[in-house]
Chains A and B, each alone.
Chain A
Amino acid sequence: MKRAFKEIISGFYSLVIGMRITIGQFFKRTVTVQYPYATLPIPARFRGHIELVRDPETGQPKCYACKLCERACPSDCILVDGAKLEGAKKKSVTVYKLDFTKCSLCGSCVEACRDAAIRYSRDYNLAGFSKEEYIMDLFAKLQAEAQAAGVPPEAPATVRPVKSEPAALPQTQALVPGARQGQTQQELRPTVLAQTQTPLPGARQSQVQQELRPAAPAPRSEPPKMEPVKAAAP
């Protein structure tokens, strides 16, 4: 009998605590982001579809159509072609198409690229109405970008409108800083990773580092701490 009463009272008290907590939340500010009007910052290591990188000095694509990315692609979704222009030392890219319907965003192409001429774009608004919209002409996109930036196009390109205009975002860092021309990625990787100054947050990278330097503990970035929920009265 006594226990039953105790149960009723403690049960009711727990309900009151629940109500108090929810009304506390009611008067706090909202935490959601109203998507089309506001967006969250994209993480620095966001891996979108690939895009060509412009040489900041000449304004022309860094890519010289070596086709390593084309070969590295497991889904066979990249098409590259290049031509040697008059007086140029290297070939220049003339066609760079990405069939995004097949791309699995594995990033093998970016890893294979010797000169950091392609990188992950930060574009994620990729909804579309037809399949054709996803055969992306990255070269045309780059030329349009260059034109917008005031660099005369090297060759007349047929610019196909791309789904979403790339926003003015901070330049994504080249995947492997310090990679030099001539060295292959495979040779480069251990030394470069060991040289990397900022610790890479991903688990895989830390693993690599640990393998490389077993003595030194790999610097791990702390996982973001959740704001502790205010504990209710017991």
Chain B
Amino acid sequence: MTKLLKMMVAEPYRLGLALLVIMSFVGLNAAYLVWVERKGAGRFQRRPGPTEVGYAGLIQPIADAIKLLSKQLILPDGVDATLFRLAPLVVMAPALISLAVVPFSEKLLGRDINLGLLLIFALGSINVMAIMLGGWSSRNKYAIISAARVVSQNVAYEIPTLLVVITMIMVTGSMDLNEIVRQQAGGFWRWNLFRWDVNPLAPVTFLIFFICMLAETNRAPFDMAEAESELVAGAYTEYSGMGFGVFFMAEYANILLGCSVATVLFLGGWQSPVGIFSGVFWFLAKMYFLVFSVIWVRWTFPRTQFYGLLNLSWKILIPVSLFALILTSAMLKIFHRFHSV
């Protein structure tokens, strides 16, 4: 009876609170990752980056947000109004929902479910579909080109991502993100990144996952969907004000999510690399290191050609990840007969 009461009364509040915390976390991160991105871009090009608004430009994101919020939302003639308005929401929602199952620490997570990984990848491609919706409903040639690109890019990169994830599920024997992290306790040599015994190609798998994450979030060098030098702003061309702002936030939310999942799957989540003092600090440190790497990659490599992008996926990433999958299953079958699957 008390259990039912708890379920009916306390749980919705807890979930609501979790969602609120995640939303503010994502919002703040999106705002300040833009600042980090601009500062990083500056430093990589030996400029100081934003310096004017506040100390070291720290108030710049707030000024940008106020600007975006105060702008008019323009609905161009001939757009599919419903889809046009829906697209920013659909691109944002999956990232928020997915972050609810990401364990920031052993106790600090929105919802402890044992199919977290499945949930994340079930919702994972919705954001790409939403970009396609936005591009298609804008009735703009650049947006439609961008939408077509997004679809073929997503089809190409979803496959290696999922192959890698299946490999990791076979290695860990679980879809529970918290359980996956718990298995990696005891120092960085226990992380899935270094599970040579089961998956001799573990670091390669991590790299493939990272590359696919870049492609799925439409980040340079795979930002074919936005390609500002070719397609104005790609699928976002017709969006103004906060419509564009939400797309922008969603991009960073998806980067956060991708880096969180990579942290959980490969880098031991909230586990300390030396085996003591595990906690949320380690999770954030690892995640932000990956986020920095994303920025680092963006300001190092030029945008790939579209053929290069597809070739990379179909000719390299998919065969290699498939090989890793087969190798892992063989290793499990031969050497780990009693692995708890």
Contacts and interface: CB of A to CB of B under 8 A. Distances in A.
A15 B301 contact: yes
A8 interface: yes
B301 A25 contact: no
A32 B48 contact: yes
Contact of A30 (B40, B48, B301): B48
Contacts of B46: 25, 28-32
> Is the contact region of chain A dominated by helix, strand, or loop, or is it mixed?
helix
A141 to B, nearest CB: 32
A18 interface: yes
Contacts of A28: 46
B296 A19 contact: yes
Contacts of A19: 296-297, 300
Nearest to B221: A15
A22 B316 contact: no
A26 B295 CA distance: 12
A150 B296 CA distance: 58
B337 interface: no
A21 B296 CA distance: 11
A8 B43 contact: no
A110 to B, nearest CB: 37
Contact of B44 (A22, A29, A34): A22
Contacts of A27: 43
B47 interface: yes
A32 B45 CA distance: 10
B48 A25 contact: no
A18 B300 contact: yes
A31 B40 CA distance: 15
A103 B296 CA distance: 48
Given A19-B296, A22-B296, A34 B48 contact: yes
Contacts of A216: none
Contacts, number: 36
B292 to A, nearest CB: 10
Interface in A1-28: 8, 15, 18-19, 21-23, 25-28
Contacts of A25: 43-46
A21 B299 CA distance: 11
A29 B46 CA distance: 7
Nearest to A22: B300
Contacts of A8: 316
Contacts of B300: 18-19, 21-22
Contact of B43 (A18, A21, A26): A26
Contact of B47 (A15, A18, A23, A32): A32
Nearest to A4: B315
A129 to B, nearest CB: 23
A23 B44 CA distance: 7
B316 to A, nearest CB: 6
Interface in B32-46: 40, 42-46
A25 B47 CA distance: 10
B39 to A, nearest CB: 10
Nearest to A11: B316
Contacts of A32: 46-48
Contact of B301 (A18, A26, A29, A34): A18
Contacts of A23: 296
A26 B316 contact: no
A111 B259 CA distance: 66
B51 interface: yes
Nearest to A20: B300
Nearest to B47: A32
Nearest to B40: A26
Given A19-B296, A34-B48, A34-B51, 18 more contacts: A15-B301, A18-B300, A18-B301, A19-B300, A21-B300, A22-B44, A25-B43, A25-B44, A26-B40, A26-B43, A26-B296, A27-B43, A28-B46, A30-B42, A30-B46, A31-B46, A31-B47, A32-B48
16 contacts: A8-B316, A15-B301, A18-B301, A19-B297, A19-B300, A22-B44, A22-B296, A22-B300, A25-B44, A25-B45, A25-B46, A26-B40, A26-B44, A26-B296, A31-B47, A32-B48
Interface of A: 8, 15, 18-19, 21-23, 25-32, 34
Minimum-distance CB pairs A-B, first 7: A22-B300, A31-B46, A26-B43, A32-B47, A30-B48, A18-B300, A30-B46
